[in-house]
Chain A
Amino acid sequence: MAKLLEIENLRTQFFTADGVVRAVDDVTYDVNEGETVALVGESGCGKSVSALSILRLIPWPPGRIVGGSIRFLGKDLLQLSDPEIRRVRGHQIAMVFQEPMTSLNPVLTIGLQLTETMQYHLGMSNEQAEKRAVELLRMVGIADGERRLQQYPHHFSGGMRQRVMIALALSCEPKLIIADEPTTALDVTIQAQILQLMKDLSNRMGVALMIITHNLGVVARYADRVNVMYAGKIVEEGTAEQIYHSPKHPYTIGLLASVPRMDQHRGRRLVPIEGQPPDLTKLDNGCAYRPRCRWAFDRCAQAIPPLEHVGDGQMSACFRKHELGDDVKAAS
């Protein structure tokens, strides 16, 4: 598969009164054309900042991309001029956020918001754009499009607004949709409807999908490949099968042991990860996970383990990645 997005050694920091927040710290991963990649991790680990960095939406002050490269279709997005990056945003890379109300303009009709971007990015006439907008609404499961285009965001339920956001994301025929916790605020049946819709449309139109989530079930159901993030770093990368069936990083192992599973009978006691994630202003020169890690030893305090191959395309940032296999079975 051809590489669509290649992020290399990306570092994004926030310069705050409490110190420098190393929100994204030497992150490398890629997204292939048409595939669904998940970025999974707990709150505050840098998922959103890494997504916003791709589109150069980090607010300065206090934030800034301080290193690395982001190549999209061969171009380094970090080297583009402001007008150039604006054409990439919304046109080639679209974003869907958790709370659609904050990304939809409350005082403009849905129709205006949909047609405006198509006129701007695709050079359509008003008439063409309106016709296309009705079509898009139908695609995302909103009937009666002509009437709906006249309505304002507050006329729509949370689930319907997220459908509108997806229509908006699709309107300019992007190559990549980045969905940042797109269904976290929604009920589980609506979540399933929305994610299934995104997955179907991405398959049908060959759009790559990057799903950012903290929900391990969502990742298992929809993702082809998975990046696990902890304290600003990718700690493990692999196919969904690899990540769930033979995890090679203690954090991934810990996450899987701490979620209850509805498909298994009750009786298993959850094995939580003790302690808390670190303060991203106080990272040292060792593995950020080591205070919570059962496998930690001297070396983990002396150097940051690099993300390296453990076989078959799977990568792990752990010095003991080759020793973890048997313990996993013992722990579960």
Chain B
Amino acid sequence: MSAQIRESRDKSVGKGETLLEVRNLKKYFAVTEGVVRRRAIGNVKAVDGVSFTIARGEILGLVGESGCGKTTTGRCILQLETPTSGEIVFEGVNLEKLDQKAMVAWRQKIQVIFQDPYSSLNPRMKVGEILGEPMRVHRVEPNAAKRRQRIAELLTVCGLPAKFADRYPHEMSGGQRQRVGIARALCLNPDFIICDEAVSALDVSIQAQVINLLEDLREEFNLTYLFIAHDLSVVHHLCNRVAVMYLGRMVELAESDELFDNPMHPYTQALLSAVPVPDPTVEAQRSHQVPKGEVPSPINPPSGCVFHPRCPLAVDSCRAQVPEFRELKPGHWVACPRV
């Protein structure tokens, strides 16, 4: 795809209808202590008031260091966790209000691709069964012969030989298993796919193959992705917009090039300066202001702005006040009163 085509596609993307809206999502986990008599000693505020929308056809990136709440956000959307509070609205429907039957239909529309294809694929099932079972259960393709044909098509689309239907997961390489994971996500004709560290475990040459595949599939099937990853270079490359999380909060959200050209939140700036660029000349000229210290525990997170203990711009009021998420430029949102 030429840069020009891609740019014009980027412009049209995100202007369309809203597919998913997450409103003030919170997910707290109780932390307990003691073996015999368990008692609650506090909450892990895994996700603490996160809001965003995703337009149909868009790829939204969700980045941040481990433990900042990316996976939990994805699991809440998938209804694998019950949110402590907040709303998840998909195609205009509030998911909490759905009855059992509507939920089954809805579940087909949202799929997930995990980081570790090995642990997410049943080792005792052949690839053909891994892909065929959901189609049979959800009656996407009740006819066995047609199902076999569709499995062959899916494998081909994902860059695997159709004969891989007869293989077991352990008979494939990591990259091939990840392709099976993608084929499985596609088999129920979803609208929306959550990719949770979907390319993180792959070597760079294989990672590039899978990234291109994800781009092509999005184009071909008009898919929408929430792309969760800790690798900022990959996220920048693939996503139209990027949201940065820190300790359960969203600290910045902007279009991809804008965020990487002009990061405004002190945490985003520190995060970007920590990522090395594969070019020694560029590296020699960059400033490397790496944030000091480590991410604090989410059990009793810092008051006010959760980043204040590590923030070079922090003033007294940052300790007391939770920063408001403000739109400083069209489409560029920042949770910091100091910028």
Contacts and interface: CB of A to CB of B under 8 A. Distances in A.
Contacts of A274: 209
Contacts of A222: 276
Given A190-B294, A191-B274, A255-B204, A261 B233 contact: yes
A42 B207 CA distance: 11
A266 B230 contact: no
B208 A273 contact: yes
Contacts of A257: 208
Contacts of B7: 267
Contacts, number: 138
B125 interface: no
Contacts of B208: 257-260, 270-273
Nearest to A226: B280
Contact of B276 (A42, A157, A187, A218): A218
Contact of B206 (A159, A215, A276): A276
Given A266-B10, A267-B6, A244 B211 contact: no
Given A187-B66, A241-B280, A262 B173 contact: no
Interface in B278-332: 278-283, 288, 290-292, 294-295
Interface in A171-225: 187-193, 196, 214-223
Contacts of A160: 294
Contact of A189 (B3, B205, B211, B290): B290
A258 B207 contact: yes
Contacts of A268: 3
A261 to B, nearest CB: 6
B175 interface: yes
Interface residues of B, number: 49
B200 to A, nearest CB: 11
A260 B280 contact: no
A42 B205 contact: yes
A164 interface: no
A166 interface: no
Contact of A214 (B204, B230, B280): B204
Contacts of A270: 208, 211-212, 237
A240 interface: yes
Contacts of A266: 6, 10, 236-237, 256-257
A256 interface: yes
Interface string A220-257: 11110000000000000000110011000000001111
Contacts of B99: none
B278 A220 contact: yes
B171 to A, nearest CB: 13
Contacts of A187: 65-66, 230, 295
A274 B159 CA distance: 11
Interface in A114-158: 157
Nearest to B5: A267
A87 B302 CA distance: 48
A310 B327 CA distance: 54
Contacts of B274: 188-189, 191-192
18 contacts: A187-B66, A187-B230, A188-B230, A188-B232, A189-B65, A192-B273, A193-B292, A214-B203, A217-B275, A220-B276, A221-B283, A258-B205, A265-B257, A266-B10, A266-B257, A267-B6, A271-B208, A272-B209
Given A219-B278, A262-B236, 12 more contacts: A157-B294, A159-B294, A192-B288, A217-B278, A220-B279, A244-B278, A244-B281, A254-B205, A261-B279, A262-B232, A262-B277, A267-B6
